[in-house]
A and B are shown apart, each in its own frame.
Chain A
Amino acid sequence: MSQPHDLFHLWVYLAASPLLWLTVTIGVYLLAQRLSALSGYNPLVNPVLISIVTIVLLLLGTHTDYRVYFAGAQFVHFTLGPATVALGVPLYRNRHLVRQAALPILAALLVGAPTAMLSAVWIASALGAPLPLKLALIPKSVTAGIAMGIARQIGGDPTLTAVFVISTGIIGAIAVTPLMNALGIRDYAARGFAAGLASHGIGTARAFQVSDVAGAFAGLAMALNGLMTAVVAPLILALIHP
């Protein structure tokens, strides 16, 4: 029988190693994914949201600092880079569909990307948010790795941007299916493109749950919006902060 004392030593040892929080991150996500599957992929049962809430509660409950958590979770975080690059594969596989839809893609990107930035800034302004908050909001529809770079470039706080990016992704992933159904849109290329543009990788992950075509267009939108936002964000900055 192990005594509480030994358990405490075990905890001290494990808590200091990256292994614990890496395993917890993957384990919690697998459970959240199973819940999502059990719900029939109900958009409200979002695996990313469930995982984040669960792990935040675990960290608060065990008084674990985020830096200690991240020492383990960084291995998962790192693969965000190669995973973003991997979007080139579904893009290439669906090149015929993409070529056919080149005009709608270009038009939706040219209108959608500035809409994502300006609408957030305007709503926040109307509610009296201070400038640093608005700066961090500008790249909120772009995938985390790219958005943090844009925030740094325009003088926003990258950590704050990361939080806004993840929140936007979860909101988009939850809202897209009921919203598009309510609007009566059955074109999965258009639905996927909107999901990827408005809510980047988390919206793309949701789109892949719904259909492969939606996933490919979401991935495309996410990549194009990363590019578009990086180019346009300085102009938006000049507009709100002359």
Chain B
Amino acid sequence: MLQGFFVLLACQLFGEALALGLSLPIPGPVLGIMLLVLYLFARRRPSGPDAADHESPLGLAADGLLRHLGLLFVPAGVGIVQSFHLVLTYGAAVVVALIGSTLITLVVTVFVFRLVSRGVSGSAAA
């Protein structure tokens, strides 16, 4: 588990360093995800245990963190106590924009995904 946590931190560190050092437009954590996936592919063996197995150190660390992903957003969310005045001033506009935009994005995204997915399986069947 500790070894798994080390791999996650190392990928994050290299990701942040790459993004900053090369001034890439890609966010550090996203580079970290890419590095982790590359690492997993590099460690893949034709048979035997995989580094991403649920019982492997990395699997345990990742599953443990992702099971409680919601908790990790709580400290930043509590930060709303600092912005009460802004939220109150533009309350209605912000609330409508956030709710409206989230619903529109959910519907548009799922619709495009299903449309293309049906198109792909349709042409494969033809």
Contacts and interface: CB of A to CB of B under 8 A. Distances in A.
Nearest to A90: B66
Interface of B: 5, 8-9, 11-12, 15, 25-30, 32-37, 40-41, 52, 58-59, 61-63, 65-83, 86-87, 90, 92-94, 96-110, 112-117, 120
A157 B59 CA distance: 36
Contacts of B110: 108, 180, 183, 185, 190-191, 193-194
Contact of A124 (B12, B32, B71, B93): B93
A185 B82 CA distance: 39
Contact of A88 (B33, B73, B76): B33
Contacts of B93: 123-124, 127-129, 133
Contacts of A205: 69-70
| Interface SS of B by simple majority | helix
A191 B109 CA distance: 9
A66 B81 contact: yes
B116 A89 contact: no
B107 A183 contact: yes
Contacts of A104: 112-114, 116-117, 120
A190 B36 contact: no
Given A86-B62, A133-B90, A55 B74 contact: yes
A59 B25 contact: no
Contacts of A144: 73, 76
A127 B112 contact: no
